[in-house]
Structure 1
Amino acid sequence: MSENPKAVADKLLDALVEHVLAEVTDRFDEVVVREIDLVLAAADTLKLGDVVDPADVKVTARIGVDQVGASALVETLVGPFADTFYNLDAASEHNLGDVIDRDKFQALVSAVLHMSTAQNRVFDRLTESPLVAQLASSFVGSIVGDILAENRKKVERVPGMSSLFSVGDRVASTAAKVGKGQLDAMAGKSAQFALQQTESAVRDLIKNAPVEDAALQVWDLHANEPVSELRKYGSEEENREITGLVYELAKSARNEEYTLELVDAFIDTFFETVGTKTIRELLDQIGLSRDDLVNEGARFAPSIIDALIANGVLAAQIRERLEPFFASDKVLAIISEG
């Protein structure tokens, strides 16, 4: 009498589960190489734009911006990450100049100093601010006042000059009382004049003074010191506060329509730039070789697989996925015919 088809199907299922488990344990290394080679063979023929729809990426990106960006996990990590960055032991072992290339820093400073369009725009907008004009006036007035005070100390040492300054003070006081309205009217013009002079001085400083050399000298002073010396510019509490404020700022802007439009535009640009490249070309440009993929697969997968086998989850999951097939009427009919 032939064996019951259902019993045969169960035996086949057990054998297949055992085979799959062996694939990810005993034969794992050869399986990783085989599967990656299969994927890379397909990657030579598949173009990114043909297998990934930009619209789907946009939906996923918006979920990331909306949910992940403000998730409890990210918020929980902001403070500890800020503290870790601030107290990193490696910061005492590496000099700043070893971390950031001096030539790149110089190129950045030079580029910023030569951004004439941005400078012109900034100065134009500053001249429109009455408060900035008042600050400039106070700044210039403070310099002039300091100069006059210093000169007065020197001149008053000359006999008779002290009395002359006293007369000048009384005259200035009387003039201020008599012409206060006129002085108030002139205050705005004085402030604007001071701002123009300050702007002119700053422009001249940027254009003619050795600002770039000065910046590099400051850089060189820090470059030969450990990165940890930068902690002297702020305490751990201040670092945590600034990091938190930056996170809150980013979180508040994440769902604004402008931010979402920007995310969409970046995705469109990405696909317009690399959408016609094959998956293999993209991997090469990223810098991931076949050996890198094999090594990383062999590095991380075994520990995960071992844990899943130990708690019985992996075998149960494999069986759950395969069992409907072996219990199907079609498979049982084939077994019966055999």
Structure 2
Amino acid sequence: MTDTQRAKAEQLLNAQVDYLISQLDPKQFKKLAKEEIDIAFKVMKTLRLNDVVSAEQVRHTARRYAVEMDISGAIPELIGEIADRLYNHPGHDKNSFEDLISDQEVAELLDVVLEMDALRQRLISEIAGSPLTINLISDMLYRGIQGFITQGTNMAGSIPGASSMLKLGKSVVSKAAPGLEKSAEQNIKKYIAHNTRSIIRQSEKRLEKAIESGEFRQAMLDFWDEIKEQKVATLRRYVTRDELEDAMVTGLEAWKQFRATRYFGNLLDAGVDFFFEKYGDTALDKLIGEMGVDKKMVLDEALRYAPPIIEVLKERGILQDTLRRRLEGFWFADSTLALLK
């Protein structure tokens, strides 16, 4: 290798770098991007999904990011900041609920939920038959009766002599049968509990009838009509900023636990396998078309992001250095210099 050969290689390298950079000028880049994207879509017509990637590769990638990748400790703090921004966003004061979802969409969503007969019936049955529900309603009824009796006693106290008679009667009962008062209380509670089950069963049937007849649906739509013009900000009356953050953090923790289960991993694998069963033999251009992506969309995004990035890389000399680093190995190779004699 002579100095002349090396100097010539250096000149050619500089010329090539300058040429490539000129191709990335905004006007030239638009033409370049359109040409390359057109060619890429033509090539994609000849390639199937199975030709370029396997289900196993995608399964590994999906697991790496959805299951194995550590969630940074900074995420909870970030969630707090996001919650604050979301909670205090001025858009809540400008937009009403009907700006976010239409009457038709509400009705369609309600119909979808109400048409889940088996799930709906199971939920109603489980809630109605729950000991917690029965005990809660029984306790409410008992306290209501207690309140009614207390109110009656207070009213009797305003009648001359009635208060003394009530006290005397209570004293006589207590002496004659010391456990009678407590026994009566227990019997009242048992009676209420027994009848509560019957009342709940009847209410369950009435609710099912209301759903089947359309009364419940109409009631929900009437409720929507009442609130749809309210601003989204009205939700702040019922949910505080801290409660929103707590819900988001709790959701993140639940997700971290769920994604670590074998169950989630199996679901992830099943989803990938199904995708390849359905699209494995599909040409790539058709596949991305079914995903809603076309040439214009790709070109628009390339022209949106690439030019400003390229400009920054040029201004800082990063683009030139990168091109030289990748090309000088070719120009200064002995085999290339031998051609420059």
TM-score scaled by length of structure 1: 0.81
Q: Which has the larger displacement, 150-159 or 21-30? A: 150-159
Deviations 1:42-85 (A, max 9, x none): 12232233322222122122221245562245434312222222
Q: 2:40 — aligned with what?
A: 39
Structure-2 separation of matches of 1:108 and 1:152 = 52
Deviation at 1:221, TM superposition (A): 2.0
Q: 2:324 — aligned with what?
A: 319
1:48 aligns with 2:49: yes
Deviation at 1:180, TM superposition (A): 6.4
Structure-1 separation of matches of 2:185 and 2:84 = 54
Cα distance change on mapping 1:227 and 1:15 into 2, 3 Å: same
Deviations 1:265-286 (A, max 9, x none): 2222333333343322233333
Structure-2 separation of matches of 1:140 and 1:29 = 76
Kept in 2, the 8 Å contact 1:44–1:280? The answer is yes
Match 1:253 to one of 258, 263, 267: 258
Q: 2:95 — aligned with what?
A: 94
Deviation at 1:247, TM superposition (A): 1.7
Query: What RMSD over aligned residues (CA atoms) do the two structures have, in Å?
Result: 3.8
Deviation at 1:117, TM superposition (A): 1.5
1:22 aligns with 2:22: yes
Kept in 1, the 8 Å contact 2:142–2:189? The answer is no
Structure-1 separation of matches of 2:281 and 2:148 = 68
Q: 2:8 — aligned with what?
A: 8
Q: 2:277 — aligned with what?
A: 272
Kept in 1, the 8 Å contact 2:124–2:204? The answer is no
Structure-1 separation of matches of 2:170 and 2:23 = 98
1:335 aligns with 2:340: yes
Q: 2:118 — aligned with what?
A: 117
* Secondary structure in 2 matching 1:45: coil
The correspondence of residues 164-203 of structure 1 with structure 2, limited to 5 A, is 177-178=179-180, 191=193, 194-195=196-197, 197-203=199-205
Kept in 2, the 8 Å contact 1:133–1:192? The answer is no
1:303 aligns with 2:272: no
1:285 aligns with 2:286: no
Structure-1 separation of matches of 2:301 and 2:331 = 34
Kept in 2, the 8 Å contact 1:69–1:254? The answer is no
1:205 aligns with 2:210: no
Q: What count of residue pairs does the alignment treat as equivalent?
A: 335
Structure-1 separation of matches of 2:179 and 2:191 = 20
Deviations 1:251-272 (A, max 9, x none): 2322222222222222223333
Kept in 1, the 8 Å contact 2:67–2:265? The answer is no
Structure-1 separation of matches of 2:173 and 2:295 = 84
Kept in 2, the 8 Å contact 1:45–1:278? The answer is yes
TM-score scaled by length of structure 2: 0.80
Cα distance change on mapping 1:196 and 1:112 into 2, 3 Å: farther
Q: 1:108 — aligned with what?
A: 109
Deviation at 1:182, TM superposition (A): 10
Segments of 5+ residues of structure 2 without an aligned counterpart are: none
Q: 1:244 — aligned with what?
A: 249
Identity of aligned residues (%): 27
Cα distance change on mapping 1:42 and 1:266 into 2, 3 Å: same
Deviations 1:141-182 (A, max 9, x none): 445656777888999999999999889978997779259689
Kept in 2, the 8 Å contact 1:69–1:251? The answer is no
Cα distance change on mapping 1:243 and 1:316 into 2, 3 Å: same
Structure-1 separation of matches of 2:191 and 2:102 = 47
**Which amino acid is the alignment partner of residue 208 of structure 1?**
A
Cα distance change on mapping 1:5 and 1:154 into 2, 3 Å: same
Q: Which has the larger displacement, 174-183 or 52-61? A: 174-183
* Secondary structure in 2 matching 1:194: helix
Cα distance change on mapping 1:96 and 1:130 into 2, 3 Å: closer
Cα distance change on mapping 1:180 and 1:294 into 2, 3 Å: same
Segments of 5+ residues of structure 1 without an aligned counterpart are: none
Kept in 2, the 8 Å contact 1:17–1:318? The answer is yes
Structure-2 separation of matches of 1:178 and 1:307 = 90
* Secondary structure in 2 matching 1:8: helix
Kept in 1, the 8 Å contact 2:33–2:302? The answer is yes
**Which amino acid is the alignment partner of residue 17 of structure 1?**
V
Structure-1 separation of matches of 2:54 and 2:61 = 11
Structure-1 separation of matches of 2:277 and 2:173 = 71
Q: Which has the larger displacement, 58-67 or 93-102? A: 58-67
